[in-house]
Amino acid sequence: MVVVVIKDVDEKAFRMLKSEAVKKGIKIGQAASQAFRLWAQESGFKPLKDIDRLKEAIEAVGNIRQKLQTIEGWSSVEVIRNWREHPKT
């Protein structure tokens, strides 16, 4: 763990974080760490993807699509609508 000093924190936001931390019985630093992680995840800071594998997958899907033929009277849109309207339980 490191000691961090953060300036210009919104007072109301800090009080809310502190209040929730107390309710959950955790330290403010733990609550702040959770908030930082959540913010980073939601902001799109995700690990880099394996670009070479993604390119291979795209090429494989493209090859499969080229081999597909249309089926007379069959609509993928209708199938999806049916799934949505009548989900299996």
> Which domain, by its residues, includes 62?
51-85
49-72 burial: b if 16+ Cβ within 10 Å, else e: eeeeeeeeeeeeeeeeeeeeeeee
- The pLDDT assigned to 53 comes to 85
Which positions ≥6 away from 35 have C-beta within 8 Å?
A: 17
62 and 38 assigned to the same domain: no
Within-domain flag for 2: no
- Number of structural domains (the chain) is 2
Whole-model pTM? Answer: 0.47
- The pLDDT assigned to 21 comes to 95
CA 87 from centre of chain: 24
Length of the chain equals: 89
4-47 pLDDT, tens digit each: 899 999 999 999 999 999 999 999 999 999 999 888 888 776 66
22-34 pLDDT, tens digit each: 999 999 999 999 9
